[in-house]
Amino acid sequence: MTFSDHDPATVGAYHTGDVPCWLRTRAALNMFRQTRIWEPADLGLEQEMSGALLAFARSGKPVSAKIGPWPRFDPANPKLVWLGEEQRVTDWPHFADLGLFDAAPSAPAPATGKPRD
């Protein structure tokens, strides 16, 4: 059977496709129809990701077996955790192009004293 939204053999990564790995609900994606063709690396990745999430919930510090403690964010030396078959801490590509982290947000406008509609 095929579905118009994607082919499980070629779908690749998609928005929120990581959520089942964080929450250990990966198997549920194929419960009603096959949406993914899982490989052995997928189980390992699910264990690493969910383990890091649990460590964060317990201690406030994400830690995974293959990477160890995840780095704190430092805008002077931005790093990210690369999750996949190969897992590593790496430089954040194109970080300088992200204006999101440039400055603190501006102060909110002062209240006018009039009720809003």
Asked if 90 contacts 79 with a C-beta cutoff of 8 angstroms, the reply is: yes
Q: Is the model more confident about 106 or about 44?
A: 44
pLDDT over 90 at 11, yes or no? no
Name 11's Cβ contacts closer than 8 Å, sequence gap at least 6: 35, 36
- CA 84 to CA 75: how far, in whole Å? 24
pTM of the model: 0.71
Q: Tell me which of 79 and 100 has the higher pLDDT.
A: 79
